[in-house]
């Protein structure tokens, strides 16, 4: 069944606007309207190897609103735009994608979901990014290679709806205690690429090619240790897999700390996707500043696809928060055995990123 989101999104926006007018003057600790505005500008230069040397610009813009019309409810509506030269596709040729903002030149629907909390349980339904909930790793958040945003075995083998093609889904979270959280979700497993007759991400074929079922448990230790274990199954691809991650925060002095991580995933039945993926690394905050405004991150990301070699990406990133709104982040990546393009060789690429967030 093909489901067009244009009418439902219009109805949701109208309902939210009507409800919000009633609450806009409410005096509450939670803001009724929270604007979502951010922009990321990347200048990527490939100095050797890959497909070819050269430089391209990659941009990502996002605009929307978070609406909290009542105490336990939250709406999120957002659109996004990706534009530029696509560094992975035109310069590097790596399979894991060295720029986590890369996509075709499009303007598309990003989010249209509602979350409601019932005590220790919350439900989130609508157009959403499954990677916002699953296979996340906070300690690797500053690294720019896509592999650090979600384990390759899950992100590719599960046909996961994620940016730029977020999908329809339902996710449930149970916060059993301050140290343990369990969640389970079902997402449309028939993701249609933006270049394949889904230009604005408004066309969704529900269940035509199956469903993605995923579950994850999270254990937070009082000594700043976070352990996550997840499993997934795609009913159409008949593919399944597992992933896990460990994060550990080491306090040094004041705002200075080291946050280390390691993740791993395995999908034995994957064919054209990663059967295994491993990442590791660490972030040192307050390298030069005393207030935690800067961070130095280093990481290694690996992925293996059947009948191919392991692709490896070594990344070093520095990020400095200029003020409340702006940051800059120079980045260098050495990519070995790029698998995304036949003939691509080991590449050395530099990125200068400037970001804005309201």
Residue 55: what pLDDT?
98
Candidate ranges 22-31, 95-104, 108-117, 286-295; pick with highest mean pLDDT: 108-117
The pair of structure tokens assigned to 210 is 């199956």
Cβ–Cβ < 8 Å for 296, 318: yes
Q: Quick check: helix, strand or coil at residue 321?
A: strand
Residue 9: what pLDDT?
47
Of 89-93, 99-103, 182-186, 194-198, minimum mean pLDDT range:
194-198
Residue 16: what pLDDT?
45
Q: How far is CA 33 from the centre of its chain?
A: 24
On the 0-12 / 13-18 / 19+ scale of CB atoms within 10 A, 127 is buried
Cβ–Cβ < 8 Å for 130, 232: no
User: pLDDT for 134-154, tens place per residue?
Assistant: 999 999 999 999 999 999 999
Q: Classify residue 40 by its DSSP letter.
A: E
Is residue 37 predicted with pLDDT exceeding 60? yes
- 3-state per-residue secondary structure call for 96-110: CCCCCCCCCCEEEEE
User: pLDDT for 76-107, tens place per residue?
Assistant: 999 999 999 999 999 999 999 999 999 889 99
User: pLDDT for 299-329, tens place per residue?
Assistant: 999 999 877 789 999 999 999 999 999 999 9
Residue 19: what pLDDT?
46
On the 0-12 / 13-18 / 19+ scale of CB atoms within 10 A, 217 is middle
Is residue 8 predicted with pLDDT exceeding 50? no
Give me the mean pLDDT over the 214-226 stretch: 92
Is residue 189 predicted with pLDDT exceeding 60? yes
The pair of structure tokens assigned to 166 is 């977020």
Is residue 21 predicted with pLDDT exceeding 70? no
Residue 289: what pLDDT?
87
Give me the mean pLDDT over the 341-347 stretch: 93
Is residue 353 predicted with pLDDT exceeding 90? yes
pTM value is 0.89
Residue 269: what pLDDT?
86
Q: Classify residue 309 by its DSSP letter.
A: P
Closest CA to 54 of 83, 88, 81, 82: 88
Architecture in CATH of 2-357: Beta Barrel (2.40)
Residue 104: what pLDDT?
84
Residue 158: what pLDDT?
76
Give the separation between CA 277 and CA 264, rounded to whole angstroms: 6
Is residue 156 predicted with pLDDT exceeding 60? yes
Task: Kindly tell me the sign of the dihedral angle through the C-alpha atoms of 92, 97, 99, 103.
Answer: positive
Does residue 238 come out as left (phi exceeding 0), alpha (psi in the -120 to 50 range) or beta?
A: left
Q: Quick check: helix, strand or coil at residue 131?
A: helix
Residue 254: what pLDDT?
86
Give me the mean pLDDT over the 250-277 stretch: 91
Helix (H) or strand (E) holding 142: none
Q: Across all residues in the chain, what is the average pLDDT?
A: 90
Closest CA to 182 of 190, 173, 191: 173
Q: How many CB atoms lie within 10 A of CB 340?
A: 18
Domain range summary for the chain, segments of one domain joined by +:
2-357
Helix (H) or strand (E) holding 18: helix 6-23
DSSP strands (E only) in 68-162:
73-84, 106-118, 121-128
What would the DSSP string read from start to end of 203-229?
Answer: EEETTTT-EEEEEEEEEEETTTEEEEE
Cβ–Cβ < 8 Å for 160, 211: no
Question: Which of the four pLDDT bands, split at 50, 70 and 90, describes residue 223?
Answer: confident
Number of H helices, E strands in the chain: 3, 18
Residue 151: what pLDDT?
94
Residue 29: what pLDDT?
52
CA angle, 156 then 58 then 149, to 5°: 35
Instruction: Name the residue with higher pLDDT: 157 or 30.
Output: 157
Task: Kindly tell me the sign of the dihedral angle through the C-alpha atoms of 16, 22, 24, 27.
Answer: negative
Residue 168: what pLDDT?
97
Residue 6: what pLDDT?
46
HSE-up (13 A, CA, CB side) for residue 67: 24
């Amino acid at each position: 069944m093909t489901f067009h989101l244009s009418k439902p999104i219009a109805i949701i926006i109208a309902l939210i606007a009507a409800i919000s007018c009633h609450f806009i003057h409410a005096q509450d600790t939670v803001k009724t309207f929270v604007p979502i505005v951010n922009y990321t500008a990347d200048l990527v230069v490939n100095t050797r190897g890959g497909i070819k040397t050269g430089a391209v610009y990659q941009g990502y813009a996002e605009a929307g609103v978070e609406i909290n019309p009542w105490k336990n409810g939250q709406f999120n509506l957002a659109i996004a735009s990706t534009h530029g030269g696509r560094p992975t596709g035109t310069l590097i040729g790596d399979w894991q994608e060295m720029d986590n903002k890369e996509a075709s030149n499009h303007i598309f629907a990003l989010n249209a979901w509602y979350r409601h909390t019932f005590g220790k349980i919350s439900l989130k339904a609508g157009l959403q990014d499954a990677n916002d909930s699953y296979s996340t790793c906070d300690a690797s958040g500053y690294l720019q290679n896509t592999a650090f945003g979600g384990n390759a075995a899950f992100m590719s083998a599960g046909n996961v709806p994620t940016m730029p093609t977020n999908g329809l889904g339902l996710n449930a979270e149970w916060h059993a205690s301050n140290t343990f959280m369990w969640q389970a979700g079902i997402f449309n497993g028939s993701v249609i690429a933006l270049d394949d007759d889904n230009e604005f991400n408004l066309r969704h074929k529900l269940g035509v090619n199956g469903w993605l079922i995923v579950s994850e448990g999270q254990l937070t230790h009082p000594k700043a240790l976070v352990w996550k274990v997840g499993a997934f199954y795609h009913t159409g691809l008949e593919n399944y897999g597992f992933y896990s991650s460990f994060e550990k925060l080491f306090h040094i002095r004041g705002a200075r700390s080291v946050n280390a991580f390691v993740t791993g995933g395995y999908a034995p039945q994957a064919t054209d996707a990663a059967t295994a993926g491993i990442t590791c690394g660490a972030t040192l905050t307050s390298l030069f500043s005393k207030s935690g405004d800067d961070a130095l991150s280093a990481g290694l990301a690996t992925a293996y696809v059947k009948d191919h070699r392991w692709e490896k990406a070594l990344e070093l990133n520095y990020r400095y928060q200029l003020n409340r709104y702006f940051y800059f982040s120079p980045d260098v990546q050495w990519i070995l055995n790029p698998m995304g393009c036949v003939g691509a060789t080991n590449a050395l690429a530099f990125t200068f990123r400037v970001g804005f967030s309201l």
